[in-house]
């Protein structure tokens, strides 16, 4: 879990030597006075595709090198499935329990860890930029006038997240090669990404607030599996 510099505050001079599109993205997402190094605590609702689209309500904590997502899936108050997804210190896990008691699945193998590392990177770039700017391992570069690439170690992976931004620096999409079940139980890298449809200011941060996520992003095989709206966001403690 990232703990870099929680007492520091964001200042514009921290990014003055970066490429212009990188500065535009970071200065838009992170306001003066934001806590550098802090992850983000999120509350969200949405739909997840498990054969069919099912509604969920979830909380998440994410930073440059970890995430923990807890969701209740189902309709109304009787959300029957509790899903826990996490990645921390090179270990990934996904589990589901019926009514929070009966175990339906529990995966924590190497493939799960590699897939979760890719997810951690994507979500940090979109929802926890203050944790990225504090990490000296993050390599920033521009990829044209409207794109930023951030690359850093999320063991056992080193994902490169490509963010498409607008003229103000707002994120419009994010994509990275993420380890997964590419074809007939053969694992490999799959472009996983999100489209951003809205953003909101949450304190010192301006974050994507309505997204759709899918595999094979940017290809004819694009398959959305996750839609979410962020209801609240704050620095994680």
Q: What is the DSSP string of 132-163?
A: HTT-TTPEEEE-STTEEEEE--BTTB--EEEE
Tokens of 31: 């306001």
At 103 the pLDDT is 82
pTM: predicted TM-score of the whole model, two decimal places:
0.91
Tokens of 188: 């490999």
pLDDT tens column, 25-84: 999 999 988 999 999 999 999 999 988 999 999 999 999 999 999 999 987 665 678 999
**Contact status, residue 143 vs residue 149, Cβ threshold 8 Å:** yes
Between CA 128 and CA 49 the distance in angstroms is 25
Q: Write the secondary structure of 180-192 as one string of H (helix), E (strand) and C (coil).
A: EEEECCEEEEEEE
At 98 the pLDDT is 83
207-216 burial string, b = 16+ CB within 10 Å, else e? bbbbbbbbbb
Between CA 61 and CA 232 the distance in angstroms is 12
Between CA 217 and CA 226 the distance in angstroms is 13
Between CA 118 and CA 178 the distance in angstroms is 5
Between CA 195 and CA 178 the distance in angstroms is 16
Residue 25: closest CA among 142, 113, 123:
142
Helix (H, G, I), strand (E, B) or coil at 227: strand
Q: In the chain, which residues have pLDDT < 50?
A: 1-6
**Contact status, residue 120 vs residue 200, Cβ threshold 8 Å:** no
Q: Domains in the chain, start-ordered, CATH in brackets?
A: 12-230 (2.50.20)
At 45 the pLDDT is 97
Neighbours of 162 (CB within 10 A): 20
């Amino acid at each position: 879990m990232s703990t870099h510099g929680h007492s520091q505050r964001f200042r514009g001079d921290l990014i003055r030597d970066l490429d212009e599109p990188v500065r535009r993205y970071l200065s838009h997402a992170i306001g003066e006075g934001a806590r550098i190094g802090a992850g983000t605590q999120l509350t969200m609702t949405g739909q997840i595709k498990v054969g069919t689209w099912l509604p969920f309500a979830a909380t998440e904590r994410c930073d440059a090198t970890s995430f923990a997502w807890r969701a209740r899936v189902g309709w109304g108050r009787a959300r029957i499935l509790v899903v826990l997804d996490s990645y921390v210190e090179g270990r990934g896990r996904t589990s589901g329990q019926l009514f929070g008691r009966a175990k339906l699945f529990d995966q924590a193998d190497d493939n799960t860890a590699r897939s979760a590392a890719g997810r951690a990177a994507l979500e940090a770039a979109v929802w926890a930029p203050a944790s990225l700017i504090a990490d000296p391992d993050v390599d920033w570069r521009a990829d044209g006038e409207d794109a930023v690439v951030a690359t850093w170690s999320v063991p056992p992976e080193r994902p490169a997240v490509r963010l498409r931004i607008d003229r103000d620096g707002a994120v419009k999409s994010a994509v990275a090669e993420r380890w997964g079940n590419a074809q007939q139980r053969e694992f490999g890298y799959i472009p996983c990404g999100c489209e951003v449809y809205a953003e909101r200011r949450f304190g010192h941060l301006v974050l994507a607030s309505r997204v759709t996520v899918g595999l094979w992003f940017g290809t004819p095989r694009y398959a959305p599996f996750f839609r979410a709206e962020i209801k609240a966001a704050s620095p994680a403690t």
